[in-house]
C-alpha cells in the first residue's frame, strides 16, 4: 500500500480538467491508464526520470475505480485531496449549496479520533 501513490493520483487528476472528466466517466479505465503511464513519473522533473516499482494494490485500485472516498480516507489518502477532486467530479450533480460537501462529510461521520494516518 502506498499513501504517496494514492495522493499523487488524486493530486494529478484534480489538476487536469480532461483527466477529471475521464475519471468521472470511465474511472476504472482511467485508473488503469494512470497506473501504467503516470504512476512512476517523477513530478516536476524532465521526462527521462522515472521510478519502476510504484503500483496500487487491489484495495487501492478498487477504491479509486469506484470513487469510494470513505475507503480512500480509511487507507490514508489526504482528505483535502479527495474532497477537492470529488467536488470537481460530483458537485454538478447537486442542486443545493454545499449539498455534495455535506454528503461527503456525512459518509465519514462514523470515524472518530484518532483518524487514519495520512502521513506519507
Going from N- to C-terminal start, the domains of the chain cover 3-106
Q: Please indicate whether residue 47 or residue 91 has the higher confidence score (pLDDT).
A: 91
Closest CA to 63 of 28, 91, 101: 28
In this prediction, residues 12-39 reach a mean pLDDT of: 95
> Residue 109: what pLDDT?
86
Confidence of residue 24 (pLDDT cuts 50, 70, 90): very high
Burial of 41 (0-12, 13-18, 19+ CB in 10 A): middle
Q: Are 97 and 107 in contact (CB under 8 A)?
A: no
Residues facing residue 50 across a β-bridge: 41
Distance of CA 53 to the CA centre of its chain: 19
Amino acid at each position: 500500500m502506498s499513501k504517496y501513490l494514492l495522493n499523487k493520483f488524486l493530486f494529478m487528476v484534480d489538476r487536469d480538467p480532461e483527466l477529471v472528466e475521464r475519471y468521472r466517466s470511465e474511472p476504472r479505465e482511467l485508473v488503469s491508464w494512470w497506473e501504467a503511464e503516470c504512476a512512476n513519473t517523477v513530478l516536476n522533473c524532465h521526462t527521462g526520470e522515472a521510478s519502476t516499482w510504484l503500483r496500487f494494490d487491489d484495495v487501492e485500485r478498487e477504491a479509486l475505480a469506484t470513487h469510494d472516498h470513505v475507503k480512500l480516507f480509511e487507507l490514508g489518502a489526504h482528505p483535502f485531496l479527495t474532497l477537492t477532486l470529488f467536488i470537481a467530479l460530483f458537485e454538478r450533480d447537486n442542486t443545493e449549496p454545499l449539498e455534495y460537501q455535506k454528503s461527503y462529510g456525512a459518509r465519514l461521520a462514523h470515524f472518530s479520533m484518532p483518524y487514519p494516518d495520512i502521513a506519507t
